[in-house]
Structure 1
Amino acid sequence: MAARRITQETFDAVVQENVDEFGLDPAEALAEAVEQFESQGVDLTNIVKAVQSGASEDAKDNQTHTVLQILESLRGHVGTANVDGMPADLKRFTEQCKLGFAQRYLAAQKDAYPTILACCRKVDGEKASLLAALDALSSLTDGQPDLLDAGGREFLMGILREHPDDPAVTVLAVRAVRHCCVKHEQNRQDLVKAGVLPLLTATVSRYSAQPELLCEACAALRVMTFDDDIRVPFGQAHDHAKMIVLENSGLKVLIEAAKAHPDNTSVLSELCGTLSRLAVRNEFCQDIVDLGGLTFMMSLLADSLDHQDLVKQVLSALRAMAGNDDVKDAIVSAGGAELIVMAMNRHIGNAHVCEHGCASLSVLALRKPNNCRVIADSGGLLVALQAMKAHPKALNVQKQACMVLRNLVSRTQELCPVILELGAEPLIRQALASHQDCGDLAQAALRDLGCEVELRELWTGKKGSLTQ
């Protein structure tokens, strides 16, 4: 059942009623209203949970939320030739937007987007004001990509083209592009058609020595390869990844940038995460190896085992690259299996590391008996089972661990007794009982291990329901 929602006006009216009718002070009235609506199952995510402010306590008709007061002031600046106070108001507006999604949502409901975009255009020639306006636009669109229209798209593209040598302007424009593309396939496609990809890859090259801008550009490139808009049945994530690689030398650009930051784990995490999104074709996986990416990642993983986020991103990249059978062998030959097992053992309490570690081992083992033996000798069997024990409620960990076990024994049956002796069967059956979505993988693992498993015949080719 979907959660109930209310308008900001309804919430504010109840808060005011608690003050007027029941004599509560503002803080108590606010807390009472929150408790009242939450007890009724109302979702208050989009509601600003604050007492309205006004010119005076008696001027109730003038009471409004701070973000709306600032917005009204900005509208006044847009309508006049004097913009002296606009930068200060834009900064205050940005501060309000960064307080939470509710403030951004309320502002958007009151037509903040056209006002902020008008401010951006009005101060385009003055850097300090332009920075304040871009920051406001970026903050407003965070979580609200539907706000972007053709005018906003043209403005952002113009900024990226006209200010390529200004890092302060570029980072805010790139951030706004990223915010407008998360969970919005149409914005991604429109911006790609407008030429955003070469601008983003050029930004990575130009500012490879500046961590903040490099990370922002990598994140924006990565978002262009997402398929996260549930409103669209088929996105163009794969096509965008190919364009980044083939038309804009994305792999080379990213690997070269990574070499400039051997000790910056935040930057390296972003770069590895972006590379993993681009390894979508067999030849791209091999290209990463040929460009020195595999050697770099092996050294990086060995030197950074204590950094969870970086380990997770490197494992994700290795998993993607191992889609190429030749790269599988190269990773194992370079000691990748041992390093993956070490990383999982080091962070066995982290579900994400265990998930990506199991997924990497699973892909390395697929159709590769020799790799399976190396993984088993490196402790891969035991660490996969340890991950299942450590995270019984984590569906993805259970699924990937079942996949590892299944792939390890599919063509190397001699490993079955060892895996069973380590207690794999009860763990797999527990995953099967606890997670419905784990059913096919768990049953496949049990089947290939030689365990008794009930396989349902869903359809016999005769008329009737599939569930009969």
Structure 2
Amino acid sequence: MACRWITQETFDAVVQENITEFEMDPDEALTEAIQQFESQGVDLTNIVKAPKKPCSENEVEPNHDILQILESLKKAIDSSALNSVSELLVKFGDQCKQGLAHRYLAGQKSAYPVVLKAWKLSEGDRETLLNALYAMSCLTDGQPDLLEADGRQLLIQALQNHASDAEVTLLAIRLIRHVCLKHEQNRQDLVKAGVLRHLTAAITNHGADLEVLRESCSALRIMTFDDDIRVPFGHAHDHAKMIVLEYGGLKLLIQAAKAFADNPGVLSELCGTIARLCVRNEYCQDVVDLGGLNFMVALLADCIDHQELVKQVLSAIRAIAGNDDVKDAIVNSGGTDLIVLAISRHLSNVQVCDQGCAALAMLALRKPENCNVIMEGGGALAALQAMKTHPRDPTVQKQACMVIRNLVSRNPEFCEPILEMGAESLIVQARSTHKDCDDIAKAALRDLGCKVDLRELWTGKKGSLER
């Protein structure tokens, strides 16, 4: 497995050596360099794999396109040539979109302060502002560490000063999404600066614009993520609470969903965002009170063939089923039959099986009456079919084991029919294949009445805490 890294300069030097010393043409020299480094276990993810282009005017040596454009942008900024700056920002953004390696190289060569300077120059010029936001968004995609205080301030100012401009709002929110994904500090700093108010206001002001609506939903979701491995814990829960309590996020999203009932793509974004906000018992009930549950059940019935939408609706149902009263409401609305139908209809889709089994497991938890409905509707069989179809996926295996365990823990009369479906061998296989499944698989086997090794790892004997 690749574990070594090199600089862009080292890679370029080898390519150039192949051209000059071994008289290879550029493409051949590039291929040879790639093979040489990969054979040595070098990770080339962040390397621009292209020969340098001939030098432009005033350049000492050849350079990559993105760096040539960056150099031209610096000169245009220094001479305050706004038209040239605007054009070069677009060209720079287009280069960044070619891949992470291009963005990484530009970032290493101090592209961020250059684009930031161009952004500051754009005050009063809408076209340059749009192009600066575009360039910055492209540059920070996958590189959220680049953002700093000045960039944060300009971003909030753009949202404040251009709240009625859908195009500026769209690009600003896209930039927010890029700098907040996998970056807890940026999320916290932007939330303190009031970004949640602007994101929810964008839905209110531009809810009819599909692109703005989708970007806003995506950005709100990211604010509730806990995906930065560099911090021990984040503020995901607090941010979700703020969106719901201070900005009426759930009501806003459910109203928007009802307005776009015929657009599966937008509905997927909305349902996925609703799922991320249901972090407290009362929020789950709010979704029901606002008509969200009836809407989602109808949506699941009407759009059962749209895989992505089905996955997000199941995710939302799973989330609101954290409330025991809502569990009953879902079952009474016919939700269990539709969940089973969704799993069966999209059995080959890992994510649908995962979310569907997770939803069934939640509905069955502590609810013997719901277990009866799930069993009668074929829920146990659907979960076991998902296990058969995706034996290598630990999440499906774990959630399916959870379904079986919750069904039989308070309804022992279901043990025999579930065992007759072949549950034991599937659960044993899941346990032996996936470490993450061990605990829940043992619990499922135990509650099914199967023989299982329940070792006592520590008894508290042979030792003392006293000195």
Please state which band the TM-score falls in when normalised by the shorter chain.
Answer: over 0.9
Q: Distance in 2 between matches of 1:94 and 1:343?
A: 41
Q: Distance in 1 between matches of 2:63 and 2:190?
A: 36
Kindly indicate whether the alpha-carbon contact (under 8 Å) linking 2:140 and 2:175 is maintained by their aligned counterparts in 1: yes
Secondary structure of the 1:49 match is coil
Q: Deviations over 1:348-390 (max 9, x none)?
A: 0001100000000000000000111101111101110000000
2:90 is aligned to 91
Q: Distance in 2 between matches of 1:464 and 1:319?
A: 44
Q: Deviations over 1:263-322 (max 9, x none)?
A: 111100000000000000000000000000001101111111111110000000000000
Q: Deviations over 1:181-225 (max 9, x none)?
A: 001101100000111111111111111111100000011111000
What TM-score, normalized to structure 2? 0.98
1:405 is aligned to 404
Q: Distance in 2 between matches of 1:327 and 1:316?
A: 15
Kindly indicate whether the alpha-carbon contact (under 8 Å) linking 1:244 and 1:250 is maintained by their aligned counterparts in 2: yes
Quick one: which amino acid aligns to residue 358 of structure 2? Answer: A
1:392 is aligned to 391
Q: Distance in 1 between matches of 2:71 and 2:92?
A: 11
Structure 2: gaps of 5 or more residues: none
Q: Distance in 2 between matches of 1:2 and 1:289?
A: 50
Matched, 1:446 2:445: yes
Q: Distance in 2 between matches of 1:464 and 1:450?
A: 34
Quick one: which amino acid aligns to residue 362 of structure 2? Answer: V
How far has the Cα of 1:60 moved from its partner?
9.6
Q: Distance in 1 between matches of 2:205 and 2:449?
A: 56
Q: Distance in 2 between matches of 1:345 and 1:127?
A: 51
Q: Distance in 1 between matches of 2:461 and 2:20?
A: 70
How far has the Cα of 1:2 moved from its partner?
6.9
Distance 1:464 1:393, change over 3 A: farther
Q: Distance in 2 between matches of 1:162 and 1:286?
A: 37
Q: Distance in 2 between matches of 1:355 and 1:126?
A: 49
CA RMSD of aligned residues (A): 1.4
Matched, 1:74 2:77: no
Q: Distance in 2 between matches of 1:334 and 1:37?
A: 60
How far has the Cα of 1:107 moved from its partner?
0.2
1:280 is aligned to 279
Kindly indicate whether the alpha-carbon contact (under 8 Å) linking 1:77 and 1:83 is maintained by their aligned counterparts in 2: yes
Quick one: which amino acid aligns to residue 307 of structure 1? Answer: H
Secondary structure of the 2:458 match is coil
2:29 is aligned to 29
Structure 1: gaps of 5 or more residues: none
Q: How does 1:246-285 map to 2 (within 5 A)?
A: 246-285=245-284
Secondary structure of the 2:82 match is coil
Q: Distance in 2 between matches of 1:51 and 1:61?
A: 16
Q: Distance in 1 between matches of 2:80 and 2:96?
A: 26
Q: Distance in 1 between matches of 2:370 and 2:418?
A: 16
How far has the Cα of 1:54 moved from its partner?
1.7
Quick one: which amino acid aligns to residue 25 of structure 2? Answer: D
1:204 is aligned to 203
Identity percentage over the alignment? 64
Matched, 1:232 2:217: no
Matched, 1:294 2:300: no
Distance 1:463 1:191, change over 3 A: farther
Distance 1:181 1:27, change over 3 A: same
Quick one: which amino acid aligns to residue 19 of structure 1? Answer: I
Kindly indicate whether the alpha-carbon contact (under 8 Å) linking 1:54 and 1:60 is maintained by their aligned counterparts in 2: no
How far has the Cα of 1:56 moved from its partner?
7.5
Kindly indicate whether the alpha-carbon contact (under 8 Å) linking 1:46 and 1:101 is maintained by their aligned counterparts in 2: yes
Q: Deviations over 1:105-137 (max 9, x none)?
A: 000000000100111110121111111110000
Number of positions where the alignment pairs a residue of Structure 1 with one of Structure 2: 464
Q: Distance in 2 between matches of 1:161 and 1:14?
A: 49
Q: Distance in 2 between matches of 1:462 and 1:152?
A: 59
Quick one: which amino acid aligns to residue 201 of structure 2? Answer: A
1:214 is aligned to 213
Q: Deviations over 1:84-120 (max 9, x none)?
A: 2112111111111101000000000000001001111
1:16 is aligned to 16
What TM-score, normalized to structure 1? 0.97
How far has the Cα of 1:61 moved from its partner?
4.7
How far has the Cα of 1:15 moved from its partner?
0.7
Q: Distance in 2 between matches of 1:56 and 1:72?
A: 10
Q: Distance in 2 between matches of 1:43 and 1:153?
A: 32
Q: Distance in 2 between matches of 1:387 and 1:94?
A: 43
1:366 is aligned to 365
2:44 is aligned to 44
Kindly indicate whether the alpha-carbon contact (under 8 Å) linking 1:208 and 1:260 is maintained by their aligned counterparts in 2: no
Q: Distance in 2 between matches of 1:60 and 1:455?
A: 72
Distance 1:337 1:262, change over 3 A: same
Q: Distance in 2 between matches of 1:286 and 1:77?
A: 56
1:324 is aligned to 323
Distance 1:17 1:274, change over 3 A: same
Distance 1:56 1:129, change over 3 A: closer
